[in-house]
A and B are shown apart, each in its own frame.
Chain A
Amino acid sequence: DTGVSQDPRHKITKRGQNVTFRCDPISEHNRLYWYRQTLGQGPEFLTYFQNEAQLEKSRLLSDRFSAERPKGSFSTLEIQRTEQGDSAMYLCASSPQGGKEGTDTQYFGPGTRLTVL
Chain B
Amino acid sequence: ELKVEQNPLFLSMQEGKNYTIYCNYSTTSDRLYWYRQDPGKSLESLFVLLSNGAVKQEGRLMASLDTKARLSTLHITAAVHDLSATYFCAVDIPSGTYKYIFGTGTRLKVLA
Contacts and interface: CB of A to CB of B under 8 A. Distances in A.
A48 B93 CA distance: 12
Interface stretch (B40-48, B59-67, B72-80): B40-48
A87 to B, nearest CB: 15
A110 B40 CA distance: 9
B100 interface: yes
Given A48-B97, A103-B48, A103-B50, A108 B103 contact: no
A104 B31 contact: yes
Contacts of B44: 108
| Interface band, chain A | 20 to 34
B8 to A, nearest CB: 14
A19 B40 CA distance: 21
Interface residues of B, number: 25
B103 A42 contact: yes
Interface string A6-37: 00000000000000000000000001010100
Of B4, B103, B105, the most chain A CB neighbours within 10 A belong to: B105
Nearest to A6: B42
A113 to B, nearest CB: 8
Contacts of B105: 40-42
Contacts of A113: 40
Interface string A86-115: 000001000100000111111111110100
25 contacts: A33-B99, A42-B88, A42-B103, A42-B105, A43-B88, A43-B100, A45-B100, A45-B101, A48-B97, A48-B99, A55-B96, A56-B99, A91-B42, A101-B48, A101-B50, A103-B31, A103-B50, A104-B92, A105-B48, A106-B45, A106-B100, A107-B45, A108-B43, A110-B41, A113-B40
Given A35-B100, A103-B31, 19 more contacts: A42-B4, A42-B105, A43-B88, A43-B100, A45-B100, A48-B99, A50-B97, A55-B96, A101-B48, A102-B50, A103-B48, A103-B50, A104-B98, A106-B33, A108-B35, A108-B44, A109-B42, A111-B42, A113-B40
